[in-house]
Amino acid sequence: MARPMQQAELALPQSQQPTGAASALWRHPQANRHVVLQHGGQALYVAYHWQGAQRRSVGMRVSAQGLQVRAPHWLGVAQLEAILQGRARWLIGQWQALQKMGQDGPPGAGAAAVWAEGCGLVWQGQLLRIALGLAGRRALLQPLAQPVALASGARIAGRAAWLGHARQEGDEACQAGQLLHLPLRRDASASAIAQAAQHWLRAQAMAQLQQRCAHFAPLMGVSPRRLALTNAQTRWGSASASGDIRLHWRLAQCAPQLFDYVLVHELAHLHEMNHGPRFWAWVERIQPDYAQHRAQLRQLRFEPWEVQA
């Protein structure tokens, strides 16, 4: 009998493969190092901002500005370049996502836009408008009787999951039905707004994970040992043989049925640590239309969120 897998993962979609081999440039305004990354016929010249730090691992942060790398002081240039080349597929995918945002995104989704009051945030497929100036320490979600427009040129974080952008055109597509009040000063920095929005969204993702797991786990006859969120760059979720379930925090931006599909997928792995017929039978038993959700996830590509990798 074959040894069972120790962990099963639901993969994120791979970035679309480039059709040409022409080189391209990705430059950080504070670039002090460079590397040429190659993957799938694409050669990308990356001028990145390097920072030496007292740490053991290499950290990569992607934003609209470019790539920032934090690495141990003792790590040599050749070693660091080898590590970056090992992440070439992911890095080129992030660059492509930024380019796509600037080319054909809906109103308010340009790559040059920044986090600011009046920008948009997608939660469970719906558009929220971010408001600042709330006193206290906790964010507050306020439903609106009438939708409000986003600020001019505002960013929409998670636009790929917005259920409105695919069927609406023009400025009226940027109408938010709720305000998300963040406990920040009105002059808060873009990074502070991004961090606060992510903190709120992660909290929503965890609450949704706990609630939906309490619903599905008894139906499937499983008892997960631990629930957690992940920021993995290659998968929507994972399940371990020991019973740990992890879901990507940005699933909270997706329509609820997509969140449920990933959760059911991972719970099914507690019965079958593979993707064989018995595994898919478990998934179909709970979600007969799982194939539709699976196809939607494969097409979903989020823009970077000042990602810490």
pTM, 2 dp: 0.66
The three-point CA angle 236-68-251 to 5° equals: 20
Question: What is the reported pLDDT for 263?
Answer: 98
Per-residue pLDDT in tens (0 to 9) along the chain, 309 residues: 333 334 565 665 544 333 334 358 888 888 899 999 998 888 898 989 999 988 888 988 887 678 889 999 999 999 999 999 999 998 888 887 776 544 333 333 334 345 888 989 999 999 999 999 988 889 999 999 988 888 877 778 887 788 755 434 333 457 889 999 999 998 888 889 999 999 999 999 999 999 999 999 999 999 999 999 998 877 899 999 999 999 999 999 999 999 999 999 999 999 999 999 999 999 999 999 999 999 888 888 777 776 444
CA 113, 114, 120, 122 dihedral sign is positive
Question: What is the reported pLDDT for 152?
Answer: 74
Structure tokens at 79: 């070693």
Which residue spans within the chain are E strands per DSSP? 7-11, 23-27, 33-39, 42-53, 59-63, 66-72, 120-123, 126-131, 140-149, 156-157, 175-181, 226-230, 235-240, 244-248, 307-308
Question: What is the reported pLDDT for 8?
Answer: 65
Question: What is the reported pLDDT for 185?
Answer: 92
Contact criterion met (CB below 8 Å) for 120 and 108: yes
Q: What is the DSSP string of 149-189?
A: EPPTT--EETGGG-TTTTT--SGGG-EEEEEEE-SS-TT--
What residues does each domain of the chain span?
15-104, 120-188
Question: What is the reported pLDDT for 85?
Answer: 93
The residue type at 138: R
Question: d(Cα 199, Cα 184) in Å, to the nearest integer?
Answer: 13
Distance of CA 70 to the CA centre of its chain: 21
